[in-house]
Amino acid sequence: MKLCVIGLGKLGYPMAEFLSSSGLSINCYDKNEKHLLDLKNGKQYLKFERGLEGYKKNNNDLNYTFNINDALKGTEICFITVPTPSLRKGNFDNSYIIEVLNNVSENLKNNSIDKPYVININSTVMPGSFKNELIPYMEKRGLKKDIDFSFIYNPYFVALGDVIKGLENPDFILVGYDNQKAKNKLSQVYNKIYKRNLITDLNLEEAEYVKLLINSYLTLKISFANMVKMICNSNENIKVSNILKVIGFDSRIGEKYLKTGGPFSGPCLPRDVEALKFDSKRKNINYHVADASSKTNEQILTFLKNDLIKFKDLNIKTIIFAGIGYKANTPSLEETYVLELSDYLIKNNFKVYFYDDYISDKIPNLERIDSKNLDKYSSLIFLPYVDQKFNSLNFKGYIYDIWEQIEGSNVVRSFLDIKKQNLSNIISLRKKN
């Protein structure tokens, strides 16, 4: 069996390398020719994606093609991993998928290949996309469902920077299908990679909802944990992490994602919640749960804004962000709450500095600094996400760590900790900021 992967972005490329562990031949295509050429020439890409290098060296090289028809030629399954950007109302745009299907349909009409050809969509789509848009499009092109083609919906639950980890250790593989032969073909691929069957038994419409609902539920746990922090923050005798830890002992709840920290952010969780809200509105259903999650997410951001402003009481008017993205090990700025937080502080007359080991972009209104001599810029540093690198942070001022990842006499979880630990007497400010 030969496979085809179309779309070699932050998910598509690691996925293609991971699929190469099956030992099958894999054709790869991306419409960005420069990107393709860089990959073909072995230029470094996604250097922060942990575990990727091992798959690049597994002696099963990917076959890069500069023509999509060449990529499709001779293959039995096409994995499509192209963007489905969010529109203004929160729903997803399938136009990039349709663009690929145009080429797939031409290939099916003009070439003698094993049918039904399996089209595996890995991009996240709106509920109803297959029934109302993707299948009708192929049929309008003169092709017959389950005779000429069959769709599979197979999105992954992964996080940028840890895509390989997510692919290697999934709780399950989300697969929606309505043709058993197509599912069996995909199972042959995954059976070469995983030691046990992890594939779900869902139809296309069920799988469309599962993808969004799981991510929506995760935002509820994050929002609940942040709500606990806001409720308990004013009590000096309470350590929020102790409360959440014990709540997580209850097997009905579980400890994953039940930790204090910042707002949920990034390219998946916020937009999947908005997509479900859009879907609910078009069905005339009020999705109050999602509304509550979104509002709580806004509340924790407001809490952080108001809490950081209090450092003015200590004559601190500068701050360093130890990262500007939404998480470690990724160059992504998608839906990062740090930008909104920094803009707020600037409007309140703070001077904002940042350094970032993963993102090289220039950020308007923010000054990038070298991370080697942080103390000369400010007496306050903000840790925006969890990163092992922070364990060796050399900083004498206040370390604002909302994720409770490091310990130290100068580490605070909120401004209240300064009062609780009498830190204002421990740290001597070297200058007025």
Q: Are 311 and 332 in contact (CB under 8 A)?
A: no
The answer on 60 and 167 residing in a single domain is yes
Query: Band of the pLDDT at 51, cuts 50, 70, 90?
Result: very high
- For 368-381, how does the pLDDT look when each residue is reduced to its tens digit (9 = 90+)? 999 989 999 999 99
Q: What is the chain's mean pLDDT, rounded?
A: 93
**Could you tell me if residue 147 is inside a domain?**
yes
Same domain flag for 420 and 322: yes
pLDDT at 171 over 50: yes
Q: Mark whether 153 and 172 lie in a shared domain.
A: yes
359 and 249 part of one domain: yes
Q: Do 164 and 109 reside in the same domain of the chain? A: yes
Please write the tens of the pLDDT for every residue from 233-282.
888 888 899 999 999 999 999 999 998 899 999 999 999 999 999 999 99
The verdict on 127 and 75 lying in the same domain is: yes
Inform me whether the pLDDT recorded for 427 exceeds 60.
no
Q: Hey, which residues does 120 pair with through a beta bridge?
A: 79, 152
Q: Among residues 180, 202, 224, which one ends one of the domains?
A: 202
Q: H/E/C letters for each residue in 278-341?
A: HHHHHCCCCCHHHHHHHHHHHHHHHHHHHHHHHHHHHCCCEEEECCCCCCCCCCCCCCCHHHHH
CATH classification at residue 24: 3.40.50.720
Q: State how many domains the chain has.
A: 2
Same-domain check for residues 141 and 246 = no
| Whether residue 296 sits in one domain with residue 173 | no
Residue 431 above 50 pLDDT?
no
Residue 12 has pLDDT above 70, yes or no: yes
Q: Are residues 270 and 400 in the same domain?
A: yes
Residue 96 and residue 245 in one domain: no
Q: Helices 288-309 & 337-347, crossing angle to 10 degrees?
A: 40
Domain extent at residue 181: 2-202
Residue from 381, 395, 322, 323 nearest 350 by CA: 381
pLDDT of residue 433: 43
Residue 142 shares a structural domain with residue 245: no
CA 351 to chain centroid, in Å, comes to 30
Q: pLDDT > 90: what percent of the chain?
A: 84
